[in-house]
Amino acid sequence: MNKNNFCVIMAGGVGSRFWPISRMNKPKQFLDILGIGKTFLQQTFDRFRNICPLENIYIVTNIDYKDIVLSQLPDINPEQVLLEPLRKNTAPCIAYANFKIKQKNPDANIVVAPSDHIILKESEFIKVIEEGLEFTKSHAALMTLGIKPSKPETGYGYIQVNHDNNGNRCNINKVKTFTEKPDFEMAKFFVESGEFFWNSGIFLWSLSSINKAFETYLPDINMLFDENIKYLNTENEKEGINKIYSECKSISIDYGIMEKADNVYVLCSDFGWSDLGTWGSLYEIKEKNKEGNVLQNENVYTYDTKNCIISLPKQKLVVTQGLENFIVVESDDILLICKMQEEQQLRNIVNDVKHKMGEEYT
């Protein structure tokens, strides 16, 4: 295994679109939503153990989740868990990991991944990551993984590729454009064109390439970390990180760097990927009964109920009648009943609940 391969797993999100199962005190990356005996974080960690030495895997998360991470990943050293005092999106998160890795191995080759994605074809995924790391090791490239779209999905961002710019490589191409979540008609056009891929949010680059990109496109964030690098890997690291995060802006790596840089490549792939961001996406990958329902409870009795996902505590008897395309979920003291096609409103609903009822319900 290449000792220069590093992995950064981003695990600080709140997963509000999986509310009410996913809550602030234990968001979806720490849950076994699939019912397979492992949380999303544990699945992601195990996946990358096949690619990077154990000691080269870093988890970046919110300070409130330190104990959860360490309890779910007992094999890692606490120093491998990087604690953010504030949520400032993905660019500061990645910069923090970069500076930690820089002190350990300036020749590092890095893959950055969210902690809560579904990968159905594990062996193909590993093959793709290894191919990408081989490319970034020898090219000054910022790479993202593009997923071949299976339908006109409006919940994902899209990447347009330039098929004619990279010689004989048919699956590694320079990026032409990034597009945020489109409406259905635009998504349909993207899929039919054959030039667009789903943006997976998984990145690969050498440490030198991403550091140069920060210096060029996000110099303010880079300077904050550079000025406080003396605190990293010391007993005063928390003090230094608190100072950095109190001053740095909140910005995504996509908007801050990837959409601006001219050395961005996409590795086009298909390994059974889903970001599993919504109840609807979980419904799509789960086994359904003859009525098209996903029932995550043995004590559910349905009458004239079709194409629904129903998830309630096992000890509860559930009876539904006359529902079609609904999400029905109960967690602790919250019951959610929502039209499947309206689930994009969940973030607004959670914000309303927080405003009216307080944080204990979010």
pLDDT in tens, 128-153: 999 999 999 999 999 999 998 888 88
Verify that 285 and 269 share a domain, yes or no. Answer: no
- The band of 168, judged by pLDDT with boundaries at 50, 70 and 90, is very low
- Which DSSP string do the residues of 112-132 spell out, in sequence order? EEESS-EES-HHHHHHHHHHH
Kindly tell me the number of DSSP H helices and DSSP E strands found in the chain: 11, 17
The percent of residues above 70 in pLDDT, for the chain, comes to 98
Q: Are residues 26 and 149 in the same domain?
A: yes
Query: Among candidates 281, 107, 258, which has minimal Cα distance to 179?
Result: 258
Q: Is there a single domain that holds both residue 226 and residue 78?
A: yes
Unique residue bearing structure tokens 């599993």 = 276
On the question of pLDDT at 11 being above 90, the answer is yes
Give the mean pLDDT of 64-75: 96
Of the three residues 274, 308, 334, the one that is the final residue of a domain is: 274
Q: Residue 252: which domain range?
A: 5-274
Task: Point out the domain boundary residue: 256, 274, 292.
Answer: 274
pLDDT tens digits, 27-67? 999 999 888 899 999 999 999 999 999 999 999 999 999 99
Is 204 strand, coil or helix? strand
Number of domains, the chain:
2
pLDDT, tens digit, 9 for 90 and up, residues 265-301: 999 888 888 888 789 888 988 899 999 999 988 889 9
Q: What is the DSSP letter of 156?
A: S
Are both 137 and 28 inside the same structural domain? yes
The reply to whether 68 and 199 lie within a common domain is yes
Give the per-residue pLDDT at 347: 85
pLDDT tens-place string over residues 339-353: 998 888 888 998 999
- Answer yes or no: pTM beyond 0.85: yes
Instruction: Measure Cα distances from 113 to 31, 78, 163, 205 in Å.
Output: 17, 19, 25, 12
CATH of the domain at 22: 3.90.550.10
